[in-house]
Structures are given as C-alpha cells and as structure tokens.
Structure 1
Amino acid sequence: MKTTLFYIAMMLTLVVSSCSKILDTTPQDFVSPVNYYNTESELQSALAGVYDRLGDNRVYAQGMACYMVFSDEFFMKNQTSGINANIVDASTLEVNRHWEALYTGIERANMLLDNIDKAVKVAEDKRNEIKGQALFLRAYYYFLLTDEFGAVPLKLQSTKTPEEPPLPATPVKDIYERIVVDMKQAEGLVKSVSDYGYNTRITKTTVQGILARVYLTMAGFPLNDVAKYADARSYADKVIQSGLHGLNPDFKQIYINHVQEIFDTRENLWEVEFKGNNQGEIQEGGSIGSYNGITCGIIDIGYGYDYVHATAKLYNAYAASDQRRDWTVAPFRYVTTGQTAVKTNWAADQIYDRSNGKWRREYELLLPRNQNITGTNWPLLRYADVLLMFAEADNQVNGGPTTDAYKAINMVRRRGYGKDVQIPDAQADVATGLSQQDFLDLIRSERLRELAFEGLRKHDLVRWGIYPTVMQAQAREYQVNMPSTLKDPAIAQAQRVTDRAVLFPIPNSELAVNPNIKQNTGW
C-alpha cells in the first residue's frame, strides 16, 4: 500500500472530477502539495477529490449496488463466473480495486487534513466546514473497510516518502474508536443541510445518522458491545429531534427523484451524486438503473441488464396491500423484438423472474440515454433508515419496544401502505405487546422491505451475526422452489456464503507490498 499511496500523494496533486453540488471547478493535474492548499478554491478542489471515491465503479457506482453485497434479497441471474457469481479470492480485480478506491479516498483526506491549516487567508469557519467533511469521509471509508475486511491498516497521515514502512492491521475495536472520534469532531464542524438545499455534502444530521449506524454495528458482530445500543438510539434521536427530516409521503417518488437528480433533503439525508450520461466532457455518471435495473434491451427506452433479480423471500415479505412491493420488485419487464420493446407484466407465479424496480430508467430526463451510464443518484442514508435504527436500538436498550419504538416503525409502515404517517392505521400498524426478540425479528423484516436493493442488507445480516446461516437457508429455498432454468447458478451463489465470506480476503495488491498484514481466516 505504501507505494500506491505515495503515487497517490504525488499525483493528487489533483486528479478529480467536479460534482455539480459538491464542487464546480476545473480539475487540476500535477500540482505539488507544497504549493497547494492555500485558497478556498484549492481546498474545495481537494475536498472534491475525497468525495470522488464514493462514485467509483467498484464502490457505489456499481459494485456496492449488487455484486459486492450478496444477500437474501437478490441473486444474479444465470451468473456462473467471476464476482457476479459471488466467486471471490484475494486476486479478484473488483475486490482489489474496491480496497484501492477506499484507501485513495483516505489518502486524499489525509493530505487535505495535513495541509488545511496552511490556508491562513481562508476564513476559519470555512476551513472548519471543509475539515469536518474530510474527517467524516475518512472515517466513513474506514467504516466500509473494517466492515468488509476486518482489521486493516489505520493510516491517519498522508504518505510523504515511499520509504515509509507499511503498517500492520489495527484491531477492529481500535479502528471503530477512531471512527467515532473523527465523526464526533466532524459533527461540531459541518453545517446543516438547510445551509445547502441539497444532500450530497456531509451535514450535521448526516453525521448523526451514520454515527447511529456505526454504533449499531459496534453493538453487533464482531465487537458485540451492547452498551453501544444506547449511543445508537441517542444519535438516531438527534436526527429525529432536529425537525429537518421527514418521510416523503409517496414511497416511489423517492426513487423517481434519484433518477431525475432531484434533491429531497427531508427523506434523503445523504446521496452519492452522479451526473449525466458520460456523453459530454465531464464523466460523472454511474450504473444505477442499468446494471441493477429492469430488464430491457432497447437503449432509447432505458437499457437494463438482466442481472439483479428479486428473491421470493423479498417478494413474499410484503403484504399484498403494501405499496412498496410492486415498486421495489418490478411486476413487468420489457420484451424486446427488433428495435421495439413492449412493457409486459409477469405472471403471478413468475416471482424469481422479476428485477429490481426501484430506479426506473423511463423517468430519466436527460436524453439521449446511454446504454450503461445514468445520472441516477445513490442513497446512502434515508430518514426511514434512521427511524428503523432508532426503533431497533430503543428495543435493545429497554428490553423491549417502547411507545417511541412503535411510533418509529409504524411511521415507516404507514407510508409503505400509502397512509398518513401520523395517523394510526389498523392495516399498517404492528401488533403491540411484542417481546424484545419478536420486535427485533419485526425490525429485521421491516428493514428488508423498506431498504431492499439499497446495499444495506448484507451489512445488516453480518452485524446481526446471521449472514452465513441466512444464505445457506436461501440455497435450500432455491433448491426447492426456484425454476429449474434459474436455480443452479443461484444455489451456487448462496452456498458460497460460508463463515469465511463474512469478510472479504485482504487483496493481493496489499499483500504484495505489505509484509506486516495477514490474510483473513479461510482465504
């Protein structure tokens, strides 16, 4: 890693793409750090470089929307080779590039943090705002790395020379403690979402909501520090009490807004911004809606690769009157004949044939469409998630759900049924008097229904300590109930989730340059 990071340090310097709401600036190449970081424009450009890795193809542009987050909500149709088939080892390109993308983000953050105090002519409040975002993003990249790889090198300063010795892995507990320290410091430095009017920058409630996620993770596997449930409840409640966020009354509109690049800062606390279709000078598009979208073979309608398919477990988790079901799991596909495609409904028993329906390319506004690239934004934190985290943590803290926990989950469910979230509803509201375990089981199911295809299900299953068990059960379910034309690849994908698959292997690109790090167990 040291050689790679030294190269990054010298070249960063700065090779970034501007994002319309993060930064509007001209990318600059080959600028020495000695002569940089002096003006607000230079600090903002450096900050854009830190944000930039969120949109990498092996991070949220594609990988973390599907093939890096295998779970019980989807399978990859008829995929029998490579990472699309959940075949992974230390040499897998996507895993190596994922690791490198996250550490590139960390190195860029470290360079900015190392040099930000040089900008003495920049107002202190502006420097603090930029510093807070850089601190948070560095911590978030470490959160992803630790969640996915376990103990990794914790590097908190930029690389100055290739002779620096490579770092050993830092214990997971120590990395999480540093994540919390940096995020708490960021909480006091960043601005409110109301200061921006868009949600692709880090804001105070974003920090608070992600801290709730971090604390819930610390409370579960592998640390199992149950005292952290109280912290998770506290930070989720900070978001709730801010009054800045609420549920969009129309579930499907959340995703139409993503497709149309419309910022709904009440529902969506934080998004990765993609822009355009990569057919102009600025290349900022992603693959949301194409790689993981509804089956379609016509570009003009909105090309969708026939990869990501819903499981019967996901589809059957919804009641028939739950409006989230037929938006999340598309009830139709486009049947292509020559240069035409006809929207055609699936038969009632064709559950496993159905695609992820959340991000529908028919709503794209920018034409002409590109086969692979879309400007659809990716949600990193929604208010519904905050409410469900609050309910989960409240249940654990109090030995069972309180009135507040019921209120939080019922708001999410009422919206799902198309009801007013503030008015009790016999159809949507859950039964009262549940035990602590029964309420936890309900939360697990509700997170599946609400957050399907948003890259969080694997993370949830891992922190609950049930990932291999659930996926082996999926393999058995596929064997019994999946159509014969689909089952063999899907069974193999699920069966590959054994105990070792809770963590990815440490990539060969790291092992080759770092003799002080060991491979994860089983790899």
Structure 2
Amino acid sequence: MKNINILLFCILLFSSSCEDKLDVSSPSSFNSDYIFSNTTDAKKALLGVYSLFGHDAYTSRMSCVWMQNTDVEAMQPAANPDGSRRDVWSLQGGLLTGFKDIYSAWQNNYLAIDRANQCIEGIKSSSIADDPDMKMLLGEAYCLRAYRYFLLCNFWGDVPYFTEAAKAGMQLDVPKTDKNIIYSGCIQDLVNCEADMYFADEFADGIERMNREFALGLIARLALFRAGYGMTKEGIMKRADDYLDVMGNDSLAVTYTDMNGTVKTARTYKEYYQLASDYCQKLMALKDRELNPDFETVFKNQSTFQKPVNDDVLYEVAFLASNGGDVGWCIGTTVNSSSKGSTTIQVNLTPTYYFSFDDKDKRRDVTVSKIYYESDNDQFVSAITGLATGKWNRLDLPIDPGSSSSKGTGINWPLMRYSDVLLMLAEAENELNDGPNALAKEALARVRRRAFDAEYHPSKVDDYIANLNSKEEFFEAIVDERAWEFGGECLRKFDLVRWNIYGKKIVETKRALDNMGKAAWNLDVSNPEVTQYINYADRLYFQKKNGEVIFLNTKYDPDEVPEKIVDVTELEEPGNEDAYAQQNWTINLYKVDEDMGIFESADYTVRCWRGYTDDTGLSAVPYLLPIPSTIVGNSIYLNNEGYGHVFSAN
C-alpha cells in the first residue's frame, strides 16, 4: 500500500501530449531549474515516474498477466486465437500487432523512461546535485529507467534506446539498439550511482521506493540477462558473445570496482557472471539478512499492508489502498464473491508445477491454492487446471473495500526478494567455477532451509545439496529452486529465456501432463514415464466443516476410497458428517472416450503452448511481442521482421 501521495504536480510537470514516430510524451515547459532546485519538488517529479506503475499496462499486463505460459505459470486460452491477451498466453503474440494493450504497454514504458530521463538531467544539472537526498533521487531515476528497459528488452527484444529526455526538434524515430548494449548501459549507470543511494532502513519510504539493496540486486539480475540468451533478428537464441564484438565494442562493456578495490571490466558472458556474483556478494557484505522464517508471512505482509525493512522483500511496487494495483484481483487466490469483493484471476499455476514440489516443502501449499472461495467462509476445490496463486488473498485485506470491489486492492507487487539474490549468487558461482563451490552451495542451502522444517534439513538440504556434484546437476537444481521459490511472482518466463530452455520446459511439461493423465486412466502403464505417476491422485476426496475444505488426499490416491460420497452441495447437510465429496484431478489431464475411440491430450495441454510446435524443444520459442502497428506505421526504421514472430494462426 503506497504511503506516498502522487500529487497533481506530477501531472502538471509531465504532460502526455504525443510526439511523432515513437509517440513518447514531450517534456513540459515547466521550469526545470526551479523543479530541481530543491529536494521536495525533485521528489515530486520522480513520483511522476513511479505513478506509471499504476496504469493497467503495468498493474496487470506487464507485471503478471503476460508473464505466462511457462512450466510454472500458465493460463488456458480460448480454443483459437481471439486477438486478446490470451494469444500472449498461447505464445501467438505475433498476431497482436494492432492490440491496444500492447500499444499501451509500449507507450507506458517509453513515457516512464522519458520522465526518468527528465529527472536524471534535472538532478545532474541542479545547483544542489551533491546533496545526499538528490543523489538518492538520481539513483532511483536510474533504477526506474533500467527496470523499464528490462521490460522492453524482454517483451520486445531489441528496441530504441534513449538516454536523453525528449526535446523540441529531437529525432525520436530511431533504429533499434541491440538489447545487450541496453543491458550494459543500464548496468553501468547503476554501478555508477548505487553507492549514493540509501538502504531501505535509512529513509522513510523503505521498500516502497527503489533503494540501494534493490539497485545492487538489479545490477546482478541485469548482469545475468546480459550473460544469457535472447532472441536475435534471425529468430535464433544467442548470447552476445555469439554474434557481437564484445571485445571491441565498448558499448557492451561495464567497468566497476569490486569489494576488494579491484577494478574490473565485464565484456564476455563469463565476466558478466562474475559481475553478478560480485554485486550479490557486495549486498550480502553490506546488508545481509536472514530470510523470514515463515514463507507465508512474506506475502501475508503484502496483503495486510505490512512493509518490514531488512526482511525478504527488497523493493515492491507501491499501490494506494483501495485505489491501485491488481494483486488480489487478477492474481492471487480465487474469490468469486465476498464482503471484500471478487477476483478475475488471469494467472494460474500448472498441475505439473504443483506435483514437482517435495512433499515436505512448506512453500507448496502457500504458493499453490487448490481451493477457491464462493463467499467469505465457503470454500470449494479448484479444477486441476485452475490452480491459482495462493500467495495473496484479498480476504486478508485489513480494510473493507466493499462487496462490489474488484481491482485496486492496494496490495503491493514484489519486484525482488533477498532469496533471489542468494539464488543468483549460487547460479553465478556455479557457472564461474564449472560446478558448485562452497559459496554456491551455502547460498542454495539458505533458501532451502526455510522451505523445510528443521527435522528434514539433514536429508532435504544437506544431503540434497551434497549430491549435486556437477555443474549441470547444480544448474538444474537452481532451475528447480527458482521455480519453487518464486512461483506466481512471474519471474519464470524471462528466466527460461535467458537460460535458453524455454522450449525444453514446454515439451517436458506437456509430456508430463499427458503421462499423468494416462496413469489416471491406466493407459500405457508399462511405460516407465507413465508408471512414475501411477499413484498420483486421479480424484481428490474432501469434507467441509463450517465452509472450510478438509482434504483426505492432496497428491496421491488415498489408501481407501471413502464409502460415502455425496455431491459437494450436500456435504454439510445433516447425516453427512462422515461423508466426502470428490473432485476429478489427474484424470482430467487426458481426454478419453472409449466409445468414440478418443485418446488424446487434454484441451489444456493443447491450448496453453499452442504457438510452440517443436516437439524436440530445441528451437526458439516465439515469446516476443510485436511492436504495435501504429508505431511501425509512423516509423521509417521500426518493423517486426524476424525475431521469431509468427503472423499466422496456422
């Protein structure tokens, strides 16, 4: 919940009149010298950049709804492309050149970047530029700009790159800049300014504004993306080293000083892994903290408007209570009707993700909600293809937004947690040492220790990590751990891209869904890939007490099927105290009609990743969005040629 007032000043300062070509907003004629002559007005100007997080283009679309479909987050689209956000889910975004939501998101990012550029220029030219508060504001402006370019590069690939504010007569129609140059430039900016920023516990707004710990973590995140893979114009996934002159082009380099005072320059992908490791370690040296011992509390804090510093969350996008944010509306536990409003869930989690958790992992039942609310105190069991994100629940709101409320819950959206820093460090050290060293193993262990009760640490943490001996094994463990730790936080899509395993994970997920369904129907059970799921629950059995669902089984078939099974609507009627209702579970993951001779994948499996047709999983996934047709039509440089775009539904 945002405790910073976004004033009318921001609107006056940053008008939204349109320029040609890229159509970014022009700078205001308001006197910049006056605005940045004092920290009070300079902060108000910066809040104009933050305020754009409150637009629908970010609050639902870019933050979470478009961050599907992966092996973790996935929402079933319509039977055929329908020209909506659902075509992004099915990896058919190339069809959406005229989709207004994509245009709005493009504009939202570039308007935020231009506002950040105005702040950067105003602060740097200010007569009080050396004031500590002004230096903090400058660092925030660079962070905001870097994060917006992060979104642009991941959603659109190579994009126009502006480091100056728009001015009268300035050429705004410019060619694309390679994403790796943009990453490098943003990292260098943050390297140059992070030391002048405040930690969250050093200023009043804490984790609701971008702070030094977030800046250090963002440097590491951007470094891993600079080291990783991305879509090239040829539609092929490559690292910068594979096709750019990383040794000869200084725009691809970042120079920094590590904690030992050694000056380093990162150019190659390995050197960017080193940069990521160095900045993770720098944050740990300067501001280490224990992970909150209760995983559920991390997210309950957000739903109840608690904002602890020196805790898990480094920075979260701040929204006004009952007047901003879609967390608890389009993402979170499903609430069909309640005294605190309802949801329209547009982010779900895959069945295979639910089953991937260790049975003792406490994160599973926090992250994956198998139930939904028909009213405040009346729970029902979700369909297996409708598993929602349990981390946020509008029923936890400490305010009463009313039964007709929907969007605008005021629940903040986490952009980075400390466990992310630990896992980025583990990943980087594994890459740098061709296998896990002690530092990498301990970083992974710190995340896993919270996931399991202490009695399971010897087996689930110590032995588990001790058995990860090779670089490949440890990398796979990091891939898994990031899934279990961040499910529903919508980091997965971009991670799969930079690792270049998106296609592989799609194929694995579809195959597992089919095999779980076959096992439920006792089909092909001699196949070991099917047999491994033979004990998975084909149906769930449950009771209800005072409206609360009580499961007999959640993952496996019960030892005995209940004798008395009634319709769920009859569960709490007199005489049914010992009765159970049932919900189809893995049996719904395969379509079988013996009379019709139908034995095939469920609609869910067919539709979710429809735009990716390579059964080997080796080719690039068409994950990029097209540049809006309005933008392309007004440009002599920009087009959607290449980049893996598919403009036909067939």
**Shorter-chain TM-score range:** 0.7 to 0.9
Paired amino acid for 2:387 = R
Contact 1:248 1:267 in 2 (8 A): yes
Which residue does the alignment assign to 1:10? none
Q: Distance in 1 between matches of 2:641 and 2:55?
A: 25
Are 1:35 and 2:31 matched, yes or no?
Answer: yes
Superposition deviation, residue 306 in structure 1: 4.5
The one-letter code of the counterpart of 2:221 is: R
**Could you tell me how far 1:441 is from its partner in structure 2?**
0.3
Select between 162-171 and 479-488 the one with higher mean Cα deviation: 479-488
Residue by residue over 1:220-245, the C-alpha shift from the partner in whole angstroms, topping out at 9 and shown as x without a partner, is 10325232111111111112222343
**Larger displacement relative to structure 2 (60-69 or 431-440):** 60-69
Secondary structure of the corresponding residue to residue 155 of structure 1? coil
Deviation of 1:84 (Å): 2.6
Residue 518 of structure 1 corresponds to: 639
The structure-2 alpha-carbon separation of the partners of 1:169 and 1:185, relative to structure 1 and needing over 3 Å to count, comes to same
User: Which whole-Å deviations, capped at 9, do the CAs of 1:228-267 have from their partners, x for residues lacking one?
Assistant: 1111111111122223433011000001011112112221
Does residue 1:217 correspond to 2:225, yes or no?
Answer: yes
Q: Which has the higher strand share?
A: 2
Q: Deviations over 1:254-300 (max 9, x none)?
A: 0101111211222111110112112xxxxxx1111111222221141
**Counterpart position of 2:460:** 427
Indicate how the Cα distance of structure 1 residues 474 and 491 shifts in structure 2: closer, same or farther if over 3 A, else same. farther
2-side partners of 1:54 and 1:98: how far apart? 11
Residue equivalent to 1:195: 202
Which amino acid in the other structure matches residue 232 of structure 1?
A: A
Rounded to whole Å, the distance in 2 between the matches of 1:306 and 1:64 is 14
The residue type paired with residue 626 of structure 2 is P
> Match for residue 75 of structure 1?
74
Q: 1-side partners of 2:45 and 2:386: how far apart?
A: 45
> What is the rounded CA distance, in whole Å, between the counterparts of 1:192 and 1:263 in structure 2?
14
Counterpart in the other structure of 1:12: none
Larger Rg: 2
CA shift in 2, pair 1:510/1:121, >3 Å: same
Deviation at 1:150, TM superposition (A): 1.6
1:295 alignment partner in structure 2: 334
Aligned to 2:495: 460
Q: CA–CA distance in 2 between the matches of 1:67 and 1:360?
A: 20
- Counterpart of 2:390, as a letter, is G
Quick check: 2:303–2:393 contact (8 Å CA) kept in 1? yes
What is the alpha-carbon distance in structure 2 between the residues aligned to residue 384 and residue 63 of structure 1?
22
Give the residue type in structure 2 aligned to 1:124.
D
The alignment partner of 1:343 has SS state of strand
Maintained 8 Å contact 1:328/1:357: yes
Residue of 601, 606, 615 corresponding to 1:491: 606
Moved more, 184-193 or 29-38: 29-38
| Counterpart residue identity of residue 493, structure 1 | C
User: Which sections of structure 2, spanning at least 5 residues, go unmatched?
Assistant: 14-27, 231-238, 241-268, 518-587, 592-600, 614-619, 646-650
Give the Å deviation of 1:456: 0.4
Identical columns (%): 27
* Mapping for residues 10-409 of structure 1, pairs under 5 Å: 20-23=2-5, 25-31=7-13, 32-36=28-32, 37=35, 38-77=37-76, 79-80=78-79, 81=82, 82-85=84-87, 86=89, 87-88=92-93, 89-117=96-124, 119-120=126-127, 124-161=131-168, 164-196=171-203, 198-222=206-230, 223=239, 225-265=269-309, 266-278=311-323, 285-335=324-374, 342-345=378-381, 351-369=384-402, 370-409=405-444
Aligned counterpart, 2:562: none
Instruction: List per-residue Cα deviations over 1:461-509 (Å, max 9, x = no partner).
Output: 0000011332244344445535469942552231224635232222223
CA deviation vs aligned residue, 1:87-130 (integer Å, no higher than 9, x gap): 42222222221111111110001111222245426762222121
Distance 1:123 1:209, change over 3 A: closer
Q: Which amino acid aligns with 1:395?
A: N
Q: Aligned partners of 2:394 and 2:423: how far apart in 1?
A: 28
Cα distance per residue 1:53-86 (max 9 Å; x no partner):
2333222445421234321113224545321342
Question: Any unmatched runs of 5+ in structure 1?
Answer: 1-18, 279-284
- 2:506 aligns with one of 471, 474, 485: 471
How much does 1:308 deviate?
2.8
CA separation of 1:28/1:152 partners in 2, compared to 1, >3 Å: closer, same or farther?
A: closer
* TM-score, normalisation: structure 2: 0.71
Residue number in structure 1 paired with 2:21: none
Question: What is the rounded CA distance, in whole Å, between the counterparts of 1:58 and 1:475 in structure 2?
Answer: 30
Mark the CA change 1:26 to 1:419 in structure 2 (over 3 Å): closer, same or farther: farther
Equivalent residue letter for 1:261: F
| RMSD of equivalent CA atoms | 2.5
- CA distance 1:366–1:459, change in 2 (3 Å): same
State the number of aligned residues: 491
TM-score normalized by the length of structure 1: 0.87
Q: State the one-letter code of the partner of 1:403.
A: A
Instruction: Return the alpha-carbon distance in structure 2 between the equivalents of residues 24 and 83 of structure 1.
Output: 29
Match of 1:42, as an amino acid?
Answer: D
